[in-house]
Amino acid sequence: MSSTSAKEITDMPYIETTDSTRLFYFDWGTGKPVVFIHGWAVGAESWEYQLKYFADQGFRAIAADTRGCGRSDDPGRNYDFDTLAEDLAAVLNKLDLTDVTLVTHSMGAGTASRYLSKYGSDRVEKAVFIAPTTPFLLKTEDNPNGIDKANFDQGLAALMDDRPHYLNAMAPAFFGADLPGFALSPEIQQWLVGLAQRASMQTSVGLYRTNTETDLRADVGRVTVPTHIIHADHDYGNPLELSSAATQRLIPGSTLTVYENAGHGLIITHKDRINREILEFILPSGMVSSPGVTMS
């Protein structure tokens, strides 16, 4: 049984959404706001290396747990992008944030894209998409280069049969453990797996389906803020051409950097480089000045 007291729960920072779901959030530092949106089920703690860095750099670094993840409420429903975008709107509105840079990882890019499509960019100045799963992963007649539904169904069945085993089995590919230069400790890999295990089965399945089945091409095409995209050349489950390259083509003026010998978990495996690249993009004299692709 948890030893957390009722007073400690009350004192924690929460934002209540329109359907009365409470979202836990980190809010570190002061200054220009940078809002981090995590991927799938890992929760806001997955951003701890970015939160600390940007708070120390004089920014207000904010990250909320998606519903059902981390310390947020688990309503057992409403894991679609419309609701996730509405939850993001609640965070931005209730904290009264403006001139925001949205920084997303993986599925978080879908939430940001749907938010910008539905609510506009009045509060948002820039966006960074890291290993985004936008715009549409599923193979269909009009998306012939997508991933067969049978592959996603197989993954979902494995997740529902033995979730701890599924998460641990996926970790090496997520981090790019077979790539040259890989140097993560087993402990940090297990830490991220543990973050994902905190989400319930209902949340994990709901977010999985949303991420793999939602067509966000129209939403991504409505993103008008300056956007920088970062992807890895060995992102096995989220191929560059299907996701980041397609996303860049849909967002006018967006830029793309491709990291060589890297996997999906860039915010951890390449955290120092990621932090510097985000910082340079946010600053007025940012490194990204014209559309294009940089291989590095």
Tell me the CA end-to-end span of the chain in Å, nearest whole number: 48
Q: 242: which residues sit within 8 A by CB, 6+ positions away?
A: 137, 145, 146, 147
Q: CA-to-CA distance for 112 and 23, rounded, in angstroms?
A: 17
Q: Count CB-CB contacts under 10 A for residue 63.
A: 26
Contact between 38 and 105 under an 8 Å Cβ cutoff? The reply is yes
The one catalytic residue among 235, 243, 244, 270:
235
Angle of CA points 294, 180, 105, to nearest 5°: 50
CA-based nearest residue to 62, from 110, 118, 23, 6? 23
Assign 225 to helix, strand or coil: coil
Q: Is the peptide bond before 135 cis (omega within 30 degrees of 0)?
A: yes
Contact between 112 and 218 under an 8 Å Cβ cutoff? The reply is no
Q: Mark out the alpha helices in 100-162 (DSSP H runs).
A: 108-119, 149-161
Does residue 231 have an active-site annotation? no
Does residue 264 have an active-site annotation? yes
The one catalytic residue among 46, 72, 106, 243:
106
* Bridge partners (DSSP) listed for residue 37: 104
Does residue 20 have an active-site annotation? no
Q: CA-to-CA distance for 29 and 38, rounded, in angstroms?
A: 19
Residues labelled catalytic: 106, 235, 264
